[in-house]
């Protein structure tokens, strides 16, 4: 599983010009599922994200987690994170999980956040063409993979 995590002051996702998810201060996650990913890997990443200290404390140091600041999380499916661009000019996506497996792990990730935190968790729509908008805070961006 590969996740691009961005600290945001706001983020939203639209499908067919309709908002399906929106947050204020928090984390936006672009989530790609690999064909070999497991539930255990997803849980490890989810727990790490909930505890990751990427928000500033009163001294301006990144020392607080999204839970510490009462932030929100927006989770967006993004199979193109597993695009292979080595040969030719058109990426291939052979390493990305098929739709059934990818959708299940994506939904399980959202469910994990909801079960293990009191945060507002919003999401995109799996398989849809999405208009993703964000205002990066920092910017702080991490690429996480497990």
Residues with catalytic roles: 78-80
Contacts of range 83-87, beta carbons closer than 8 Å, 24 or more positions apart? none
The answer to whether 63 touches 69, Cβ cutoff 8 Å, is no
Please report how many Cα atoms fall inside a 13 Å half-sphere around the Cα of residue 10, on the Cβ side.
2
């Amino acid at each position: 599983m590969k996740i691009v995590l961005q600290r945001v002051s706001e983020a939203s996702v639209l499908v067919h010009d309709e908002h399906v998810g929106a947050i204020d201060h928090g984390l936006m996650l672009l989530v790609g599922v690999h064909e070999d990913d497991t539930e255990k890997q997803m849980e490890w990443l989810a727990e790490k994200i909930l505890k990751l200290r990427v928000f500033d404390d009163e001294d301006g140091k990144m020392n607080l987690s999204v839970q510490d600041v009462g932030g929100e999380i927006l989770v967006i499916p993004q199979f193109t994170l597993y695009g292979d661009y080595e040969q030719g000019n058109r990426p291939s996506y052979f390493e990305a999980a098929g739709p059934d497996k990818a959708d299940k792990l994506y939904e399980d990730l959202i469910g994990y956040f909801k079960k293990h935190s009191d945060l507002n968790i919003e999401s995109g729509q799996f398989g849809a063409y999405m208009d993703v908008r964000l205002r990066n805070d920092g910017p702080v961006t991490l690429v996480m993979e497990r």
